[in-house]
């Protein structure tokens, strides 16, 4: 059992657009996060069929390890993930429901890094995030998510 928290929230209006930091966000069942590129189908991967594009998460511990292990410094929003967490074992949530504040998410699959992400950040990010690039999730119960909200099973 774990008990983590949301440390930051990020959305981008369209594919490749800069990520914007938010203090709170609305999660809409079957659609995504209000103001994010995947809600309206304008994300880089929107034309490729697949589940788990409603919400993406990454551990702040991974971003800190990237700096420590690879000497690569990126801001949490530069990871292109929507929710940055602390104290949450995201890889273990594939195939499971979990709670983020008042919202229920279902972990669909790992959010492996890609060359597109590396192109938007810097060389080495792809290798540094393999198998720890985060989690893709769908919204099972909508509502508001706030920075500081608890994350738990």
Helix (H, G, I), strand (E, B) or coil at 109: strand
User: Which CATH superfamily, name and number, covers 3-152?
Assistant: PK beta-barrel domain-like (2.40.33.20)
Greater model confidence, 47 or 2: 2
What pTM did the predictor assign?
0.90
Across the range 60-86, mean pLDDT stands at 91
Q: Where are the domains of the chain?
A: 3-152
Q: Is the pLDDT of residue 44 over 80?
A: no
Across the range 33-43, mean pLDDT stands at 85
- Cα separation, 44 vs 26, whole angstroms: 21
Q: What pLDDT is recorded for position 22? A: 98
- Cα separation, 52 vs 111, whole angstroms: 9
How far is Cα of residue 46 from the mean position of the Cα atoms in its chain?
16
- Cα separation, 2 vs 76, whole angstroms: 22
Across the range 16-37, mean pLDDT stands at 94
- Cα separation, 107 vs 6, whole angstroms: 16
Across the range 32-44, mean pLDDT stands at 84
Q: Are 25 and 144 in contact (CB under 8 A)?
A: yes
Q: What pLDDT digit, counting tens, does each position of 78-122 carry?
A: 888 999 999 999 999 999 999 999 999 999 999 887 666 666 666
| Average pLDDT over all residues of the chain | 89
Q: What pLDDT is recorded for position 45? A: 60
């Amino acid at each position: 059992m774990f008990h983590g928290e949301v440390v930051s929230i990020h959305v981008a209006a369209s594919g490749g657009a800069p990520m914007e930091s938010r203090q709170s966000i609305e999660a809409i069942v079957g659609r995504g996060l209000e103001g994010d590129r995947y809600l309206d189908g304008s994300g880089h991967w929107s034309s490729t069929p697949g589940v788990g594009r409603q919400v993406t998460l990454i551990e702040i511990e991974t971003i800190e390890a990237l700096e420590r292990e690879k000497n690569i410094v990126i801001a949490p929003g530069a990871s292109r993930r929507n929710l940055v967490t602390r104290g949450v074992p995201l890889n273990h949530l594939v195939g499971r429901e979990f709670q983020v504040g008042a919202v229920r998410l279902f972990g669909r699959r790992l959010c492996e890094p890609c060359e597109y992400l590396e192109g938007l950040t810097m060389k080495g990010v792809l290798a540094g995030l393999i198998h720890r690039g985060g989690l893709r999730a769908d919204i099972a119960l909508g509502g508001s998510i706030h920075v500081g909200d608890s994350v738990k099973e």
